[in-house]
A = this chain, B = another copy of it.
């Protein structure tokens, strides 16, 4: 059960409500739609009034021994569900769980208020119902959209635009950025600083003024201590609904499409473009000036040195189609295990 000091449970829900919000169905009509559930929980910790989920075959054993009262599960695995656990059938158990957890623990911005310990330039425009915590600094002509929450010690640079219902984490820094609605910037992220732009010169590298911006579209998430440099001339762009994890580096002029997933410690070099719905796994490095297509998947720690066509899965350093990389791994394993 979630620690009530940190998380507020919104109260019990009926089975009917849960089926409705999650889109799951029952195997038969026998269950009482008015049965109350009080919380979500993991398979290991779930009790009779809790709802859990099964989405990874690694967790078969916890499923078999779970005491959870109900469990989102694919019809394919229904036989693994123990007798005391009501299977809630769905092709997307993790999504069903997510939607259910959201109604038990809805996101709650603190009540609108502007701390007396924030420093807000008089020319900044602050929208309705905004919450600004202590230690926040907002520079001249910045625009903050309604229902946005700016947490302690964050700094919003001059002329930055932040949309509605955004959340800017503690100690984060935003400059030279135009951000749309429903964006979440996590703690310590650095958005909009100069990119690493210079002409190499033995008498002293010559700095190239970085004259672009960072554009962040609706519904993006940018992880803790991630760095996104502004463009050098073109803009750096994070497309709608793209999620970026912690400690990621996104260099100047990078453009990422919609719905991508960029996992922790990835580095994307300057001027590389990525299409829509691509997944870049942890610690991948991508060289500069590349085109990575849509629906691409790059395996963890890969080093991408060439363009990757749409729909491909690449792996390795240098990255290549995953089958080729797996063949090379198998070849070496065979040779050296002789």
Q: Name A residues whose Cβ lies closer than 8 Å to a Cβ of B.
A: 2-3, 5-7, 40-42, 44-45, 56, 58, 92, 94-95, 97-99, 101-102, 104-105, 107, 115, 117, 119, 133-135, 137, 139, 141, 151-153, 155, 157-159, 169-173, 175-176, 186-188, 190, 193-194, 196-202, 204-209, 211-213, 219, 221, 223-225, 227, 229, 233-234, 241, 243, 245-247, 249, 251, 259, 261, 263-265, 267, 269, 277, 282-283, 285, 287, 289, 300-301, 303, 305, 317-318, 320, 324, 327-329, 331-333, 335-337
With known contacts A153-B153, A193-B186, A208–B98 Cβ distance under 8 A? yes
In the complex, residue of chain B having the shortest beta-carbon distance to the beta carbon of A141: B5
B289 touches A102 (CB 8 A): no
The residue that A233 contacts in the complex, of B45, B153, B264, with Cβ under 8 A, is B45
In the complex, residue of chain B having the shortest beta-carbon distance to the beta carbon of A139: B152
Q: Beyond the given A135-B137, A227-B247, A328-B335, could you list 10 further A-B residue pairs with CB under 8 A, ordered by the A residue number?
A: A98-B206, A105-B211, A117-B119, A137-B153, A171-B190, A188-B190, A196-B223, A196-B263, A249-B265, A251-B264
Min CB gap A224→B, angstroms: 4
* 10 examples of A-B residue contacts, CB within 8 angstroms: A5-B159, A40-B233, A45-B233, A133-B137, A153-B153, A170-B175, A187-B193, A264-B267, A328-B333, A328-B335
Min CB gap A119→B, angstroms: 4
Min CB gap A112→B, angstroms: 17
Complex: A267 Cα to B5 Cα, angstroms: 29
The residue that A98 contacts in the complex, of B207, B212, B328, with Cβ under 8 A, is B207
Interface residues of A: mostly helix, strand, loop or mixed? loop
A241 touches B289 (CB 8 A): no
Residues of chain B within 8 A (CB-CB) of A205 are: 241, 243, 259, 261
Complex: A197 Cα to B3 Cα, angstroms: 18
A247 touches B245 (CB 8 A): no
Residues of chain B within 8 A (CB-CB) of A267 are: 247, 264-265, 282-283
Min CB gap A181→B, angstroms: 13
A176 touches B6 (CB 8 A): yes
A155 touches B137 (CB 8 A): no
Min CB gap A215→B, angstroms: 10
A336 touches B318 (CB 8 A): no
The 8 closest A-B pairs by CB, nearest first: A95-B199, A2-B211, A327-B336, A5-B159, A190-B224, A227-B246, A119-B134, A137-B152
Residues of chain B within 8 A (CB-CB) of A134 are: 119, 137
The residue that A170 contacts in the complex, of B117, B173, B328, with Cβ under 8 A, is B173
The residue that A202 contacts in the complex, of B233, B234, B259, with Cβ under 8 A, is B259
A98 touches B159 (CB 8 A): no
The residue that A265 contacts in the complex, of B155, B245, B265, B289, with Cβ under 8 A, is B265
The residue that A227 contacts in the complex, of B152, B223, B234, with Cβ under 8 A, is B223
Min CB gap A192→B, angstroms: 9
Complex: A167 Cα to B302 Cα, angstroms: 35
Residues of chain B within 8 A (CB-CB) of A102 are: 206-207, 209
Min CB gap A50→B, angstroms: 10
Complex: A19 Cα to B96 Cα, angstroms: 64
